[in-house]
Amino acid sequence: MAAADYRINVLEATEIASYLKPLAEILKACVHDGANVSFVLPFGDFEAQAFWREKVAPSVADGKRRLLVAEVDGVMAGTVQLNLEMTPNQAHRGEVSKLLVHPNFRRRGIGQALMREVERQAIGAERWLLTLDTADATAERIYRALGFTVAGSIPAFARHPMEDRWEATTYMYKILEDIRPSN
């Protein structure tokens, strides 16, 4: 799929309410596909919509988070967040969270396109260090291909979304050379 086949937008807080259903559908589909992104099964529409409405929308409204979505022919295919709410000694850093591409839209470059836009958003917010964590080997390969470096792993970090077992997470980072200070 060529880049022209999808569009990436940064949602304003006022837009999130009209996107609750597709955002919830992507989150549910990814969790049901095994994504370890804070939720465990059983997991339904109410919990999925509440996450976007109660956790994400307020921080977008406060300017503490950016919510990006990818659409293919008017259908939401993926999403990612850039958390900008950092302590004063980490104001140079942004945290990437919940890169979610609906299973029906994977392997089309959408995740990579979302991550490239996250980097542009970070640079625009004067953030030159991005961090993230992942429990998925495929996602880790994508992040590595995008220039992220493994910082380390933590065993038994989170419960698996579908099974009664614990999973490790891998922390990664990327320094955005475009705006990194020279010190």
The whole-number mean pLDDT for each consecutive block of 10 residues of the chain, a chain of 183 residues, reads: 75 95 96 92 92 97 98 96 97 97 95 96 96 93 96 95 94 86 66
- Structural domain contains residue 88: yes
Predicted local distance difference test score (pLDDT) of residue 59: 97
- Structural domain contains residue 183: no
- Structural domain contains residue 29: yes
Predicted local distance difference test score (pLDDT) of residue 177: 76
- Structural domain contains residue 89: yes
Q: Domain tally for the chain?
A: 1
Predicted local distance difference test score (pLDDT) of residue 93: 97
DSSP track, the chain: --GGGEEEEEEPHHHHGGGHHHHHHHHHHHHHTT--SS--SS--HHHHHHIIIIIIHHHHHTTSEEEEEEEETTEEEEEEEEE----GGGTTEEEEEEEEE-GGG-SSSHHHHHHHHHHHHHHHTT--EEEEEES-HHHHHHHHHTT-EEEEEEEEEEE-SSSSSEEEEEEEEEE-TTT----
Q: pTM here?
A: 0.93
Q: What is the CATH number of the domain that holds 78?
A: 3.40.630.30
Predicted local distance difference test score (pLDDT) of residue 1: 42
Predicted local distance difference test score (pLDDT) of residue 22: 97
Predicted local distance difference test score (pLDDT) of residue 3: 46
